[in-house]
Structure 1
Amino acid sequence: MMNYKLNFNMRRALNLLRNKYFLVTAAFVVWMLFFDKNDLYTQFEHRQQLIKLEQERDFYTKETAQVAKELDELTSNPEKLEKFAREKYLMKKADEDVFVIVKGKKEDK
Structure 2
Amino acid sequence: MKFKLPKLPQTPSFLKNKYIIASLAVFIWLLFFDNNNFFQQYRFSQDIKRLQREKAYYIKEIEKDSIMRQELKENPEALEKFAREQYYLKKEGEDIFIVKPDQR
Interval containing the TM-score (normalised by the shorter chain): 0.7 to 0.9
**How far, CA to CA, are the matches of 1:102 and 1:22 in structure 2?**
72
Letter in 2 for 1:52: R
Normalised TM-score (structure 1): 0.80
Aligned to 1:58: 56
Aligned to 1:87: 85
Give the structure with the larger helix fraction: 1
- Identical aligned residues as a percent: 38
**How far, CA to CA, are the matches of 2:21 and 2:103 in structure 1?**
70
RMSD between superposed Cα atoms in Å: 1.4
Letter in 2 for 1:65: E
Residue 105 of structure 1, CA deviation = 3.5
Q: Describe how 1:91-102 pairs up with structure 2 within 5 A.
A: 91-102=89-100
Question: For this pair of structures, how many residues does the alignment match?
Answer: 95
**How far, CA to CA, are the matches of 1:32 and 1:25 in structure 2?**
11
Aligned to 1:74: 72
**How far, CA to CA, are the matches of 1:66 and 1:23 in structure 2?**
59
Aligned to 1:18: 16
**How far, CA to CA, are the matches of 1:57 and 1:77 in structure 2?**
30
Letter in 2 for 1:57: K
Normalised TM-score (structure 2): 0.83
Structure 1 unaligned blocks of 5 or more: 1-9
Q: Describe how 1:44-55 pairs up with structure 2 within 5 A.
A: 44-55=42-53
SS at match of 1:92: coil
Structure 2 unaligned blocks of 5 or more: 1-9
